[in-house]
Amino acid sequence: MTETPRTEPVRVLLAEDQGMMRGALALLLGMEDDLEVVAQVSAGDAIVEAALAHRPDVALLDIELPGMSGLDAAAELRVRVPGCRVLILTTFGRPGYLRRAMEAGAAGFLVKDGPVEELAAAVRRVLAGEQVVDPALAMAALSAGPNPLTPRECDVLRSAADGAAVADIAAELHLSESTVRNYLSSAIGKTGTRNRTEALREARHQGWL
């Protein structure tokens, strides 16, 4: 059976917190005859609401956004707007981010230094049901292995990001202080670092947080 050619433009939602980058991407994608940017948002917690309102075919999401990360938004889109394919576009080409994106249901993962023609082609390909991943990053992810940190160790490291005291972390996460210390010690050991500041830096560098 022959598939009927698509006559309507591909509807794209764009989530990017830097206004200049967002405007440039929207302009460049809009120059493609078969693509239409129907919504632009600057915060992660605005993504799902915009998707429900505009029903895009593809959501093009940055990772590091205020309010909610693009990875968390991708997971929520999979549940609430299942017809929308997600393509992650980020400056941070980290193996851990790629693994988390795939686990969240993203159909593609590209870094921002590629040509716009490649991005437009990726939008079309994920809509057609393909997975599109930056080849160099895919190889790095395979060699890097999975995230060694448990979800709770990740929570504790995030809570320690601003130099919070163990007591404050314990209160925030409803844990005992000894449990928090154990999680921090375990995270430091797994990241091969000397203290929680270095552990946090290494976990972020790897894309585990």
For the stretch 24-69, pLDDT in tens is 999 999 999 999 999 999 999 999 999 999 999 999 999 989 999 9
For the stretch 174-196, pLDDT in tens is 999 889 898 999 888 888 888 88
89 contacts 59 by C-beta, under 8 angstroms: no
Label residue 28 exposed, middle or buried (CB < 10 Å: 0-12, 13-18, 19+): middle
Percent helix, strand and coil across the chain, each rounded to 5?
50, 15, 35
Which are the contacts of 52, defined by CB distance < 8 A and separation ≥ 6? 80, 81
Owner of token pair 């990772």: 63
Distance between CA 72 and CA 19 in Å, rounded?
A: 21
According to DSSP, residue 191 is labeled: H
Residue 140 pLDDT > 70: no
Model confidence, pTM: 0.68
